[in-house]
Structure 1
């Protein structure tokens, strides 16, 4: 089989919490639910204690038959009724305790999920790019699922089994201490099996969780840039990389399964040895007259009753280990250092932007921007133009505060973005890219993410401003229609209109549009350009121009090349000057038949449905 070179190196992973940090986080998550947890444990112990009366009642039945023979019918009937009452009481209390335990566990998982999501959303973009989105997605998806399953299923089973084992051994001891001693003969075998299993399986589960994260990263790398992968014929290499990570995950899963099988075999041997010991002791004690046949029967039933809880207790260590590994990975995300936010951020005096001597480089890469100097007046609309890789999107991200410059400063009015803090910066500067998301829920709720207190009239107004009122009004329930996953799926143009409407609700003084109309066709582009124009009216605006028609309507055009400003001025001035922008304008506005075909017969420049060429594509650039 032909192997292709791995297209990308393995990225570093996000940190994983150690045992002490994980335990501390678990205690912190449990603290708000302490009362419910105590009530659940109390009911669980009560339910288990009541259930232990069953073997004692059955032992009394055996003694009644042994003593009274056929005359024991009435006594057996009473004892059978008592047995039914015990079963009913245990079932009711067990159901309530299980409900409370699951409720506490799910509440803790929900709190943890919110902590992880909040911390993930606060991560600097550079950190996410360095570690890769796959590891974060695997944690927020797979690890949360594993921990949630443990909270709903494994923890109740573990707690019930532990209480049953302790109380059953106490019950056997009340019959005769030698029964409890005989039952403990199985303990060394069980403990030895558990130690053998934990020592070998814990590293396997940790490695399996890591392998799944790496597999998710490989899938995201390929699917997130599918056009580039296809165009550069990198598909086989990406498929090989995904297959390698999948095989690694499968091999680890099979290793864990083999370990479990051998573990359960040891547990079965322990049960055999333990039951044989109890029966042998019971035989000697009955023969000597120390205990009755019914008490010996109760002891044997007690031990037999231990089969399931002991097996469950030891077996759920499997799920607990997997959940512990997932919990450590989730807690590791919450422990990432947070960016310090100023308690009282300064207020910018106006909506001007000052970019001074700014440079930027991606990790382990060359400079994308070098010595960028730019001043944008309040209310000015500036278009950033250049070929793919010129640094347009990087500059837009720096201005929006999404990234921090490697060198130089960016000031909003007289306040540096670093002094303003990320939270305050987001209130002042909004960025809209071509990658937008429609959140699951009603359309009105989707918009209110930007402004929770927005009333229906305000929502209707912003939808009309961005030209979305027509199609929204045609929905079955208008703004109450569910959109996103499980609901109405808007088109690319409609999704972008919703993103622009959210910015209108946010109402920032500065807006950055990073190729916000790039994914729309000709009709969609005109619709979005009209919506963007309405959004930018009266605001300071930076527009990464995908179509040069946007640059033609700007107050000033900035032409970038290899991270430097090579031209700037009004559209007509730059066209008249005959420089780089003029050549771009001629290439963009030229009719299709005048273009020189590239190799293979394709046009030299990409064509949009309007017949104009696309200036850049985010699919092929790190911007």
Structure 2
């Protein structure tokens, strides 16, 4: 469970933005990679795809009978055959309309169903890969980049699948079969219609490269804006503490303006796109009408046939415009799809560990000459040495930016250190591997997510096979059983999004209960009681002490009373360990910790 970007992380993030101007964004797939991934997704659905196309072809073919029937009615009227002669064509027109409507509805439904199935597979693959990405790689890209892909990009693709894909498939079939119908009427009508094709081709060639670039840039700009919003709002306390309000406001303004400008460029492209399509319609219809006049005048075709040809071309307006307009959505969806596929190409952490890998013998922690920096030239930790005995509770204390959270994240394996080494239970973390570190260490941050669903299932995320009795025991150990059983349905109460909303204290209680159920040898608490308020913090501090029983505890202490209860306090200042000892020893020493404790005590009295 990753900690939020607090104190030194926000400072490093801000320096990164100012120092480099760019983050290490997650990759975007090339066109070939995107098409290959799409082909792989479709490979297992050939039968539904064939059925969808077949039904759409039948429906579109039936609909093409409308123009000849109307042309026949025109000929009957010209020949003055009387009202009785119109009965059969009118009945056939009604039958064609009904049959076409039914077939189109079924075909569109099949296409939409196929699209939803492929979209679900794509989403599942993306989430599965995203969950296995190294946490350090995700944090380098920034939370906004990944969340914008999970939310914004998936939404765009879903909209394209549900609306654009069925319309596009129907439009293409209508265009193809209508051109065949024109050729059947008279091949010269087909030649007349083809005069509009160069305008369409030039329009698409003008539009696609420009739109592709704009939409890709807009998705990146949107991700950068979302990242900045999360960074500024999530770290508002740190922003205020370091007086970075103006800096963050300027960054938000710059990124909002960049996203807005790219959106406006897209609108201008769409306007130019449709103005060119209108010109193509004028050229094509004029050519068909002139051709029809000449052929009727020469006796080659009847007025009804010429009418049918004009109706055929007129019926192409909507499908041609729809197909070309949907290129706009296709470009946007393609850019989003490339961003999702790009993540699938990243190396993932192995799901299993090779046999014979060393196993920690206990819960001890040893940090040797540890150094780390988020941005080159701005070290956050410098040559840190620290040993924590198995079962010992150690509090990390220091001013904002001292390196407390970074040290915790390095021990938890979220980041890889730039220098030095970390051992857990006598085994180097590089030898343990990511999966081994996760089995040994559990990190609980001040920002805990409550998953939507029954509360009991939320707890079982830590141990899926846990019995109801084990859940109650874990809740009881951290002092949460009373309020859980007081919920409307007890542990079966649906919590999270759309369910019963838990307080900050209750959410942290759940996280501590998960810790008890997971039962790792080492637990890291990164300011896990900081946002609960005074009363809630005292409750959670007691719960944290009980959750840490029998395991090694490393606590990033925001509240000094929590540090006072630890077996040992380690004080960091500017990325270095400057003091270590018990609470009483450090207060008596009159150093950094004593000054922090005095300031804390004065603030409580004030």
TM-score, normalization by structure 2: 0.90
| Cα separation, 1, equivalents of 2:313 and 2:50 | 28
**TM-aligned CA distance change 1:39 to 1:493, over 3 Å:** same
After TM superposition, give the deviation of residue 165 of structure 1 in Å: 0.6
**TM-aligned CA distance change 1:391 to 1:242, over 3 Å:** closer
| Cα separation, 1, equivalents of 2:432 and 2:66 | 69
Asked if the contact 2:363–2:521 (Cα under 8 Å) also holds between the matched residues in 1, the reply is yes
What corresponds to 1:252 in structure 2?
Answer: 262
- 1:543 is paired with a residue whose SS is strand
What corresponds to 1:44 in structure 2?
Answer: 56
What corresponds to 1:140 in structure 2?
Answer: 150
1:559-597 deviation per Cα after TM superposition (whole angstroms, max 9, x unaligned): 333333333344444445555444544544x4x3xxxxx
The higher-RCO structure (CA 8 Å, 6+ apart) is 2
Asked if the contact 1:11–1:132 (Cα under 8 Å) also holds between the matched residues in 2, the reply is no
Asked if the contact 2:350–2:435 (Cα under 8 Å) also holds between the matched residues in 1, the reply is no
Matched, 1:567 2:579: yes
**TM-aligned CA distance change 1:537 to 1:21, over 3 Å:** same
**TM-aligned CA distance change 1:88 to 1:113, over 3 Å:** same
After TM superposition, give the deviation of residue 67 of structure 1 in Å: 4.0
**TM-aligned CA distance change 1:137 to 1:511, over 3 Å:** same
What corresponds to 1:184 in structure 2?
Answer: 194
Matching of residues 373-452 of structure 1 within 5 Å? 373-452=385-464
| Cα separation, 1, equivalents of 2:116 and 2:134 | 29
Asked if the contact 1:11–1:130 (Cα under 8 Å) also holds between the matched residues in 2, the reply is no
| Cα separation, 2, equivalents of 1:259 and 1:311 | 15
| Cα separation, 1, equivalents of 2:575 and 2:210 | 53
| Cα separation, 2, equivalents of 1:440 and 1:414 | 39
Asked if the contact 2:16–2:22 (Cα under 8 Å) also holds between the matched residues in 1, the reply is no
Equivalent position to 1:172, from 146, 171, 182: 182
Asked if the contact 2:136–2:414 (Cα under 8 Å) also holds between the matched residues in 1, the reply is no
Equivalent position to 2:252, from 231, 238, 242: 242
| Cα separation, 2, equivalents of 1:86 and 1:46 | 11
Matched, 1:208 2:218: yes
Which sits farther off after the overlay, 131-140 or 503-512?
Answer: 131-140
| Cα separation, 1, equivalents of 2:436 and 2:242 | 41
After TM superposition, give the deviation of residue 185 of structure 1 in Å: 1.4
**TM-aligned CA distance change 1:276 to 1:105, over 3 Å:** same
- 1:173 is paired with a residue whose SS is helix
What corresponds to 2:105 in structure 1?
Answer: 95
RMSD of equivalent CA atoms: 2.6
What corresponds to 1:277 in structure 2?
Answer: 287
| Cα separation, 1, equivalents of 2:224 and 2:264 | 18
| Cα separation, 1, equivalents of 2:323 and 2:524 | 57
Which sits farther off after the overlay, 244-253 or 428-437?
Answer: 244-253
Which sits farther off after the overlay, 389-398 or 547-556?
Answer: 547-556
Equivalent position to 2:124, from 114, 117, 127: 114
Matched, 1:522 2:553: no
What corresponds to 1:598 in structure 2?
Answer: none
Mark the runs of 5 or more structure 1 residues left unpaired by the alignment: 593-606, 614-623
Aligned length: 588
1:41-76 deviation per Cα after TM superposition (whole angstroms, max 9, x unaligned): 222222211211222222233334444621x52x43
| Cα separation, 1, equivalents of 2:223 and 2:109 | 32
Asked if the contact 1:442–1:482 (Cα under 8 Å) also holds between the matched residues in 2, the reply is yes
Mark the runs of 5 or more structure 2 residues left unpaired by the alignment: 1-14
**TM-aligned CA distance change 1:147 to 1:480, over 3 Å:** same
Asked if the contact 2:134–2:348 (Cα under 8 Å) also holds between the matched residues in 1, the reply is no
Matching of residues 309-388 of structure 1 within 5 Å? 309-339=319-349, 342-344=353-355, 345-388=357-400
Asked if the contact 2:462–2:515 (Cα under 8 Å) also holds between the matched residues in 1, the reply is yes
Asked if the contact 2:16–2:375 (Cα under 8 Å) also holds between the matched residues in 1, the reply is no
1:107-149 deviation per Cα after TM superposition (whole angstroms, max 9, x unaligned): 3333333333333344444434433322333222222221211
- 1:103 is paired with a residue whose SS is helix
**TM-aligned CA distance change 1:264 to 1:493, over 3 Å:** same
| Cα separation, 2, equivalents of 1:388 and 1:209 | 34
What corresponds to 1:604 in structure 2?
Answer: none
After TM superposition, give the deviation of residue 167 of structure 1 in Å: 0.8
- 1:567 is paired with a residue whose SS is strand
Which sits farther off after the overlay, 460-469 or 426-435?
Answer: 460-469
| Cα separation, 2, equivalents of 1:407 and 1:251 | 43
Asked if the contact 1:7–1:237 (Cα under 8 Å) also holds between the matched residues in 2, the reply is no
Equivalent position to 1:56, from 53, 68, 71: 68
| Cα separation, 2, equivalents of 1:576 and 1:240 | 46
After TM superposition, give the deviation of residue 528 of structure 1 in Å: 0.6
| Cα separation, 2, equivalents of 1:78 and 1:453 | 71
| Cα separation, 2, equivalents of 1:136 and 1:510 | 29
Asked if the contact 2:156–2:333 (Cα under 8 Å) also holds between the matched residues in 1, the reply is yes
After TM superposition, give the deviation of residue 194 of structure 1 in Å: 1.7
Which sits farther off after the overlay, 258-267 or 441-450?
Answer: 441-450
Matched, 1:130 2:130: no
After TM superposition, give the deviation of residue 6 of structure 1 in Å: 12
After TM superposition, give the deviation of residue 188 of structure 1 in Å: 1.1
Equivalent position to 2:22, from 5, 8, 11: 11
